[in-house]
Chain A
């Protein structure tokens, strides 16, 4: 058990360490991921360090070996001469008790060290007789303590095993550590053998080895740095044009279509630049052509609308005259006159919407913002649509706060939006109440319009905002919508910097939410009301991921559709307080969706989930 616990602790600590290491190394890893330059230079440095280090080690090691081998050969050859001499000198002594033996030993050491070329360099010579304790060892230089140089193993090898042996030892001589090559050989005599040790300082060799090592190290380091520098320069030569190309491409994508790369030379990079420039030129040409076409199209629509208005006015005057005189006509003619009047009304509103859309497309639409109270606006909308509501048997319930809700909005456009939303809701209300809720917080004001009609099929949340979109084109309309109402509403909301979002499910009805900032120009981060109605939210799924996706969708919106009847709004204050929290996440993710194009592109993936639970096939909107 304790082991397991210990292991757990260890694992935990390990994880902490790893996490910290990751945290600490995060900038480095980021730099590693992002910079090709850095990667190439680092890899070059590492690889060249290994290579140069390996070669350096090899060279230094070989040099040292050669130096040592030379020293060994030298010492070996000298040693053999010395041993020969000592052997010959000791031949005259038949026993170790010969009283002249110590003299011979002493003289031999003196003679050998006097004739030694390395003697001035501090070489030592010692003649010992470890097998004959009565014979005192004699050393050429008494000032140096040779006992540290002659290890027990060395003496055992030479004295007991009769081997010629060597060893490297370091001792302090006058405070400086000096390396000695110790060479020992038995010296045969007629009574056994004594041992000759020759200790040669390796000062010169050591110095040479150190110099070689330092030279190799410095050269290697310089080589590595040079290689790194070289790699850096070469990579820079390649990476810089690529970076320029990347930057140019970014600018191009940001709309600066006249950005071009500099073509320098005839190499591959020049070819890349030339190709890139060609691509940019082609794109620019295409885009300009498409823009021109689009402009012409919008112009055409606008012109047509304007041009239709003049004859329409004339036709309208004539139609009004006929309509006013219809009682005097035969019933069939009178009916035609009524039909004519109705269709002319519809034609006129279609033209009005088209002109409005044209203004938006042409960028002529301007926000005329002022501090307005939204409560009367909502009430006014409900009032105007009350007739229609009554006709279709729908009650409009207003849930408005008791206090004024002041926001910096264009009241005309807000009213148009709400009229569209409430009109649509009444129209698709299926005789069930339509709830209009208003809520606000410090930053935003939200209005939701909830109906309990057929709802929306999965994916239709986006489509409802498309121009002239119909859920069921064959279905007869009770009121004549133009199919442009929600599109205009979306544009209006966008002018405010606000959101217009839809939610719906088959059989569960639909809810539209308008969110605008309290202060014009502020950026929206959250809506005070949830997009998904509270009843559906709880009924379907406590977690809101599908709706979160849905809310991001905003399509062209609909209707200026006639609102027949509007129920007075009931109080909806209770919703406003809790709404922002539950919808905070979706709202923030939907923030950029005030421009419709990117938002709509993100919709399909997220819209798929509620689709599985959607049952109804109620069209989202009607003209």
Chain B
């Protein structure tokens, strides 16, 4: 009986032991593997020219060599350049990757038959840093690079046997092998996005572009914008990759720097607007954004457009000119039949120059340079929409007075509104509530500031100093505006610059004397000078004293504004395919009995 009992218990225990979790099992198939739903771009990277392709053509080899640094990452860049170098030279120089110097060749490289030496003359456009910023270079003027190209026994083709120890890239190479992307940062008071132009290698597949852009944004704005543009909150980092667009959706997952701010909701909204503007070209229908531990939020409307001040500008500008010391509207422009805004009719007299602006909340701002009995003054005021401002005078120092311009028209009490004007070669700021001019310190090389113009975002300035063009960022805290270290724009097409204004959010319309003669030309140039084109190649030899352009909406993808005007030799011209003079007939209000010799001058726009 005991045995039987024992056996039964043992059998039971064995049975029970058999029904635990097994130690090892066979592989069991659950289902078929997933299929990907992502679509992949078909954009192939551009072909690179190699040393072998150049054959025995020294000029071609030099041309290819000066494009070899174009690559998506510094190591590849170095490797490509090294492939042109003779092994012995490569062993001694260019061992570690450096930033790439972007140059504009002056003439063609000088190749002398029978000689191995090649001379390359070039202007330095800038230095392309790892984050796609084309930084300003310290080089000034034409640089000459000399290199030797020769063949090596036992090997086909030519080799660069001696070259300057920098990675050089021609602006042609930059244009061919890089794509320009504009990313955006908020200005300090969060009223508008500040564009920041970057270059991304065309080798980067389109799937990775959004990720690179987000990485740039996390790294912060370009150094020259640092004071004006706000970087992403500390601690913001990209989690994982930015996956390729799937189901018409772009997913971005950031760690929670933004979410930790006090106004987390507003910060998140700013972040997504900034992202949407920066990724606008790659944005499918939906942006899915997840920040930190916050919820995933889908954004699919175009409401972000308004965050860019350039977008907020009216499609067609309200154009004004000064005629007979009075502000007049120009016919066939927007609201041409309306009265002059902000300014009371009795104040519209003795005007030499003016600036009118309207804030995001539709408050009107006016700044008039008047000249009464030979004494110049600045009349400043602001008023809500539909009302007219009471202007108060701001005394001007002596000296030639430039065109006033409203830079910041903020409703924020602390920032307030700031206008800029050049007087006697110096830059001053004024505000609608203050009766004094404030000198704005110019941190650049000393010289007379002859013109200033403000980008639509109100934070970037283009200045003409001593016939050279500079861009600088302006910061405005309680103590008044200040400028960041300005950046000179290298414009190889012009020998000097006399006037400039913003044509788009990232390009300038510049007037000056051509570098290849004494004729005056109007050109359009990138802020970094990497690319430029002629708008009007030749407008005679009268220099342009003043130029006004109404920046184009970035959504339209136009590279030139619709309306550009300039003054030369006391006359005002509208820039069409050629200059068209603005006459009395172009004024909105008919002038009966016009005084002789009086013509419209100082054109401007309601900005």
Interchain CB contact (< 8 A) of A164 among B23, B32, B76: B32
A179 → chain B, closest Cβ, in Å?
A: 6
Determine whether A279 belongs to the interface, using a CB cutoff of 8 Å to chain B.
no
Determine whether A188 belongs to the interface, using a CB cutoff of 8 Å to chain B.
yes
Interchain CB contact (< 8 A) of B31 among A52, A53, A54, A164: A164
Determine whether B9 belongs to the interface, using a CB cutoff of 8 Å to chain A.
yes
- The count of chain B contact residues (Cβ–Cβ below 8 Å) is 46
Determine whether A56 belongs to the interface, using a CB cutoff of 8 Å to chain B.
yes
- A residues near B22, Cβ cutoff 8 Å: 168
Interchain CB contact (< 8 A) of A167 among B13, B20, B26, B243: B26
- How many Å lie between the Cα of A158 and that of B17 in the bound state? 32
Interchain CB contact (< 8 A) of A168 among B8, B24, B36, B208: B24
Determine whether A405 belongs to the interface, using a CB cutoff of 8 Å to chain B.
no
Binds A, one of B189-197, B234-242, B276-284, B418-426: B234-242
- How many Å lie between the Cα of A157 and that of B205 in the bound state? 32
Task: Assess A188 versus B35: contact at CB under 8 Å? Given A46-B8, A89-B240, A92-B241.
Answer: yes
A78 → chain B, closest Cβ, in Å?
A: 14
User: What residue in chain B is nearest A91 (Cβ atoms)?
Assistant: B244
Determine whether A64 belongs to the interface, using a CB cutoff of 8 Å to chain B.
yes
B35 touches A68 (CB 8 A): no
A297 → chain B, closest Cβ, in Å?
A: 56
Within 8 A of B (CB), among A88-109: 88-94, 99-100, 104, 107-108
- How many Å lie between the Cα of A92 and that of B211 in the bound state? 9
User: What residue in chain A is nearest B44 (Cβ atoms)?
Assistant: A94
Task: Assess A162 versus B243: contact at CB under 8 Å? Given A45-B4, A205-B21.
Answer: no
- How many Å lie between the Cα of A164 and that of B5 in the bound state? 47
Q: Would you give the 0/1 interface string for B1-44, flagging 1 where the beta carbon is closer than 8 Å to chain A?
A: 10011001101110111111111111111111111101010000
- B residues near A49, Cβ cutoff 8 Å: 5, 8-9, 11-12
Determine whether A151 belongs to the interface, using a CB cutoff of 8 Å to chain B.
yes
A188 touches B36 (CB 8 A): yes
- How many Å lie between the Cα of A115 and that of B104 in the bound state? 50
- How many Å lie between the Cα of A83 and that of B251 in the bound state? 16
Q: Would you give the 0/1 interface string for A442-468, flagging 1 where the beta carbon is closer than 8 Å to chain B?
A: 000000000000000000000000000
B1 touches A151 (CB 8 A): no
- B residues near A84, Cβ cutoff 8 Å: 34
User: What residue in chain B is nearest A54 (Cβ atoms)?
Assistant: B15
- How many Å lie between the Cα of A88 and that of B13 in the bound state? 50
A157 touches B29 (CB 8 A): yes
B240 touches A53 (CB 8 A): no
B218 → chain A, closest Cβ, in Å?
A: 15
Interchain CB contact (< 8 A) of B33 among A111, A158, A167: A158
Determine whether B246 belongs to the interface, using a CB cutoff of 8 Å to chain A.
yes
Determine whether B73 belongs to the interface, using a CB cutoff of 8 Å to chain A.
yes
- How many Å lie between the Cα of A60 and that of B13 in the bound state? 11
Interface SS, A side:
helix
- The count of chain A contact residues (Cβ–Cβ below 8 Å) is 72
B243 touches A220 (CB 8 A): no
A57 touches B19 (CB 8 A): yes
B216 → chain A, closest Cβ, in Å?
A: 16
- A residues near B241, Cβ cutoff 8 Å: 88-92, 104, 107
Q: Would you give the 0/1 interface string for A27-57, flagging 1 where the beta carbon is closer than 8 Å to chain B?
A: 0100000000010011001100110111011
- A residues near B19, Cβ cutoff 8 Å: 57, 60-61, 64, 213
B289 → chain A, closest Cβ, in Å?
A: 14
Determine whether A533 belongs to the interface, using a CB cutoff of 8 Å to chain B.
no
- How many Å lie between the Cα of A50 and that of B241 in the bound state? 60
A-B CB proximity, top 3 nearest: A88-B243, A91-B244, A186-B33
* 10 additional contacts (CB under 8 A) given A57-B19, A60-B19, A92-B208: A45-B4, A45-B5, A89-B240, A104-B240, A158-B33, A164-B29, A165-B27, A202-B21, A220-B12, A221-B12
> Can you spell out 7 A-B residue pairs with CB atoms less than 8 angstroms apart?
A56-B16, A64-B19, A151-B27, A165-B29, A167-B26, A186-B34, A188-B36
